Structure formats: structure tokens, C-alpha cells
Amino acid sequence: MSAVVVIRHGETEWSRTHRHTGRTDLPLTPEGEAQVRPLRRRLALLPVAPFAHVWTSPLRRASDTCALAGFVDISRVEPNLREWDCGEYEGLTLAEIHARRPGWDLFRDGAPGGESPAQITERVDAIISEVRRLNGSVALFSHGHLLCALAARWIGLSVTDGARFRLDAAAFGILDVEHNSPSEPSIAAWNVVEYGDVPARSAQVPVARRRSDGTQAA
């Protein structure tokens, strides 16, 4: 099997203000669009490029990131890549949640009215099982909580351990294996916002239309 590159979407208004965003389908901010446009060049520098398979969450902040990075025409929408449903805590900051429930942690406790760690484990394990059967490298455009949970499960940890990972807006990670053996999963890179000599604020590159609105992106 080949490597899996996981990419978090760019900034939204709620990610900028640190509000838990699960099922709410927010667009990227202008800053978020600027963050993700250089991804086409950054990802092309990876030794695993070009990608044989590109999957994206159905939520527009991820699918627009995929499109602005230049992959809209070859991408597949994968429902299991949607973000962790935060239920009653949707739109709240961690401080607001802790005022109600001191010590709460999404990865350990789940969200009331949303998804539990066991449900997220089922979802990310299904993704891992499928991508391990594919030939060629894979790119997954998704969300912070979901991708941290996926990375933890990739190396045999629990979803709860995903709380120890950090993935910033428009950053990516590389999930791989040692000695070409699926029994030796590894994380080759994590929370990368630059690669090689491509600066974080590189020039904009023309890209294809966005999946969510069908317009042309400059």
C-alpha cells in the first residue's frame, strides 16, 4: 500500500473563533481560501504525488479546500470523512462548554446529542480499512477532530489519544508504514504547513471550480 496524506480544511469563521464545528456547513473565510490555494504546489512536492485517489468530506469547508487545491475533478465524496458531530455543544467554545461541564473532553467523552468516541472509531476504522486495500497514494480532505482520531487509529491507538494530536487549518499529515508492511503503521509527517521551499504565503495558482457552488476560483 502507499501513503495516505490527510489535509485539514482552511479557516472558517468558527474555527477562527475556536467554536466547535461539527455538522454546521460553514464556508471558508477569505483568509481560509488564501491558506488553501498554495496546497496544490505544496502537495505536488510530496514524494507520494500524484495521488491515485482523492476523497473529501461532504461538508463544504473541506470540499472547497479540495477544489481550491485543484482536485475537484478527480475527487470522491466520502460521508465517513465528515467532522465529529458535536451535538448540543455545536457552536460553543471550550470555555463555554467547561462552564457547563468542567473537565469535558470531546475525544474522551463524546458530545451529548452528537457522536461518541465509539461511533467515531467505527467511522475512521472503516476509512482505514478501505484505503489500505487501495493501490496508489491517497489524499483525504477532512476536518481537525476527525483526522486526529484517524491518525491515532492508524498507528493502533484509541480515538481518545487523538486529543494529543494537533492539526492546524490547511495543514497536512502523512500516514505511512515502515518496511512496506501494513503491520508497521507509522506517521511520516504531521501538522505540516509548508513543504520544501514553498512558503506558506506563496502566489495564488489558478484552480478548478469549487464543488459547492460550481464557480471558477482564481
pLDDT in tens, 188-211: 999 998 744 444 433 333 333 333
Cα distance between residue 167 and residue 175, in whole Å: 13
Asked whether residue 26 is assigned to any structural domain, the reply reads yes
Q: What are phi and psi of 55, to 5 degrees?
A: -120, 150
Q: What CATH number has the domain bearing residue 20?
A: 3.40.50.1240
Asked whether residue 211 is assigned to any structural domain, the reply reads no
31 catalytic? Reply is no
Asked whether residue 197 is assigned to any structural domain, the reply reads no
> Contacts by 173-176 with C-beta closer than 8 Å and gap 24+?
173/5, 173/6, 173/147, 174/3, 174/4, 174/5, 174/6, 174/46, 174/48, 175/3, 175/4, 175/5, 175/6, 175/150, 175/151, 176/3, 176/4
83 catalytic? Reply is yes
> 185 lies in which domain range?
4-192
Catalytic residue among 9, 53, 143, 145: 9
The count of structural domains within the chain is 1
CB 68 within 8 A of CB 217: yes
Computed over every residue of the chain, the mean pLDDT equals: 90
Asked whether residue 199 is assigned to any structural domain, the reply reads no
pLDDT in tens, 151-166: 999 999 999 999 999 9
Asked whether residue 209 is assigned to any structural domain, the reply reads no
CB 139 within 8 A of CB 48: no
Asked whether residue 202 is assigned to any structural domain, the reply reads no
DSSP-assigned letters across all residues of the chain: ---EEEEE----HHHHTTB--SS--PPPPHHHHHHHTTHHHHHHTSTTPSPSEEEE-SSHHHHHHHHHTT-GGGEEE-GGGSPPP-GGGTT-BHHHHHHHSTT--HHHH--TTS--HHHHHHHHHHHHHHHTT-SS-EEEEE-HHHHHHHHHHHTT--GGGGGG----TT-EEEEEESTT-TTSEEEEEEEES-BTTB-TTPPP--B---TTT---B-
Cα distance between residue 111 and residue 107, in whole Å: 9
Report the 10 Å Cβ neighbour count for 118.
9
CB 72 within 8 A of CB 14: no
Catalytic residue among 53, 83, 143, 145: 83
Asked whether residue 198 is assigned to any structural domain, the reply reads no
Cell of 183: 503491520
pTM confidence score: 0.89
What was the pLDDT predicted at 2? 81
pLDDT in tens, 55-98: 999 999 999 999 999 999 999 999 999 999 999 999 999 999 99
What was the pLDDT predicted at 180? 86
Range 122-127 average pLDDT = 98
